[in-house]
Amino acid sequence: MNRSEIDRIAHLARLEIAAADVPVYLRELSAILEFVEQLSATDTEGIEPMAHPLDACQRLRQDVVTEADQRDRFQAIAPAVDKGLYLVPQVIE
């Protein structure tokens, strides 16, 4: 990488980089790109992609109703209701 590439990346990312910081960004971005090249050189033939590196599963709760239906109670205090639906003022013509 060179300074013009750092300037172009900063422009695309809409970042302002001080001239004194350019060498730091140059070194860090070059290290990242070298690491990506190293990863790309790794043979992944026959390795199945995974969503998570650990063999973890989600603990899901039972799909059970835990509260009583209070729709009628809530709609009794609503300003406008029709056929079980809350009516609101139209905001888009």
Digit-coded pLDDT (tens) for 51-85: 878 877 888 889 999 999 999 999 999 999 999 99
Nearest-angstrom CA–CA distance, 92 and 48: 49
Nearest-angstrom CA–CA distance, 17 and 10: 7
The domain in which residue 11 lies consists of 3-40
pLDDT score at 55: 79
- The reply to whether 32 falls in a domain is yes
Among 46, 8, 49, residue whose Cα is nearest residue 29:
8
Q: Quick one: pLDDT band at residue 89, thresholds 50, 70, 90?
A: very high
Residue 9 belongs to domain with CATH number: 1.10.20
**81 by DSSP, 3-state: which?**
strand
- The reply to whether 75 falls in a domain is no
pLDDT in tens, 7-58: 999 999 999 999 999 999 999 999 999 999 999 999 989 988 888 788 778 8
DSSP 21: G
Q: What is the pTM of this model?
A: 0.49
- The reply to whether 20 falls in a domain is yes
Q: Are 61 and 54 in contact (CB under 8 A)?
A: no
Q: Are 40 and 33 in contact (CB under 8 A)?
A: no
- The reply to whether 84 falls in a domain is no
What is the number of structural domains in the chain? 1
- The reply to whether 49 falls in a domain is no
Q: Tell me, what amino acid is at 25? A: Y
pLDDT score at 11: 94
